Every structure is written in C-alpha cells, then in structure tokens.
Amino acid sequence: MVAQHQTALSVVGDEDSAKRRQILDGARAVFMNLGFDGASMGEIARAAGVSKGTLYVYFADKNGLFEAIVEQEVLEQGKAAFNFDLARDVETTLKDFGTAYIQLLCRPGGGSSTRTVMAIAERMPEVGQRFYNNVIALTINRFATYLDARVTAGDLAIDDCQLAASQFMMCCQASLFMPFIFQAAPAPSPAEIAGVVDSAMNMFLAAYRIKPT
C-alpha cells in the first residue's frame, strides 16, 4: 500500500523509477560494449526501449548518463561482500576472496566496467577516481583491515598491510586480467582462476606467514 502510494507519487527524477532503471540497463549494455565514444544516444535509446527524448528526461546529457552508470556500478560492486570472518582459517579466506575478486574483475560477457572506466579516465578523471576509490581502493582497504587483524592475532607478519593487500590482489590477477582486458583471452574459467589464486595464496603465505620456529 505504501509502496503503491510511492509509485503513484513517483516523479521523473525519482532515483528508483522503473523507466530510469530501464534506461540504465540499456545504457550500461551499450556503454560497456562500445565504450563512451562508441555508444550513441540513439543506440542507447534503442537498447533501452525508449525514445531518444526520454533519455534526456531522466539524464541531463550523455556524460550524466554515463556517470550514473558508473555510479551504479560503483554502488553494486561496493556492496560485494567478501567474507573476512576471522573465525575461518587464513587459507580459505584468501582463496575465497581471491576467487571472488577475480570473478568480479574478469566478468565474462563482453561489457567490462573496468575497461570502460579505464578507457575514459584520461578525459573524465573524476569518474576514474571515483571508480578506483570506491571499488578498488575500497576492497583493498577492507582486505587490509582483515590482514591487520591477522597480524594482531599473531598469524601474519606484515609491515605494510595496504601494500600486502594490493600485492595479493595483483598476484591473483597474474596471467588472467591482462589477457582478458586486452581481449587476448576470454574470461578465465573457474579452474584457471582456482589455479592462479592458489598459487597467489602460496606466494603470499610464504612471504607473510609467521613461520613456526
């Protein structure tokens, strides 16, 4: 009832309007597949199933629509909940996290938000920054916090947890992310990811696990 009422009152600017979502969905597909410049508002309108004019009812211009897409991506990926439960053993935690992270980064099916945002970062630096800070840096920070706790618990010996977090995440990308982003290889299979993450974990623990004397 309340929901119905809200719907009845919904205005164009409504952040949650169905049309707005519809447009965002269509636009995301086009932007992620063709890049900012490659995407035309006409194509986006067609993909979203609305008229070109409607695009401009919901978004000020192409930039605004693109920023909204990235913002949505930021929100969605920021919500990605990695399991940093201290009760679990370190190996499992690293493996699960690494796997989930790579799957997020190398999402199959064309449209990679990472590539699309990287591509435009030179001309829209605030968009690039925002994406980095709220998606990548955020994940690094969360993981670093976990590592910190492990250090405190006496399981790991890490000087710079931020760097260590970043190192692990980059190691997990080894042989996977670059070929994927350059279109030199398809999205990695779960098996490939598992192998690489496993190796990254071993490397990480070899360097940072406190060795029993």
Cα–Cα distance for residue pair 137/162, rounded to 1 Å: 10
Nearer to a second copy, 16 or 53 (CB): 53
Select from a second copy, DNA, none the partner in contact with residue 110, using the beta carbon and a kind-dependent cut-off of 5 to 8 Å: a second copy
Determine which residue in the list 179, 189, 190, 210 makes contact with a second copy, applying CB under 8 A: 179
Options 10-18, 28-36, 76-84, 90-98: segment touching a second copy (CB under 8 A): 28-36
Interacting positions 97-156 with a second copy (CB under 8 A) = 110-112, 115, 117-123, 125, 128-129, 131-133, 136-137, 140
Cα–Cα distance for residue pair 101/136, rounded to 1 Å: 10
Question: Would you state the torsion angle of the CA atoms of residues 138, 141, 142, 146, taken in this order, to the nearest 10 degrees?
Answer: 170
Determine which residue in the list 6, 40, 92, 133 makes contact with DNA, applying CB under 7 A: 40
Size of the residue set binding a second copy (CB under 8 A): 53
3-class secondary structure, 62: helix
Size of the residue set binding DNA (CB under 7 A): 22
- Which residues share a beta bridge with 87? none
- Which residues share a beta bridge with 209? 156
Select from a second copy, DNA, none the partner in contact with residue 54, using the beta carbon and a kind-dependent cut-off of 5 to 8 Å: DNA
Select from DNA, a second copy, none the partner in contact with residue 191, using the beta carbon and a kind-dependent cut-off of 5 to 8 Å: none
Site string for a second copy, 51-90 (x = CB under 8 A): ----------------------------------------
Cα–Cα distance for residue pair 14/19, rounded to 1 Å: 10
Cα–Cα distance for residue pair 144/146, rounded to 1 Å: 5
C-alpha distances in angstroms, 84 versus 19, 94, 148?
Answer: 37, 9, 11
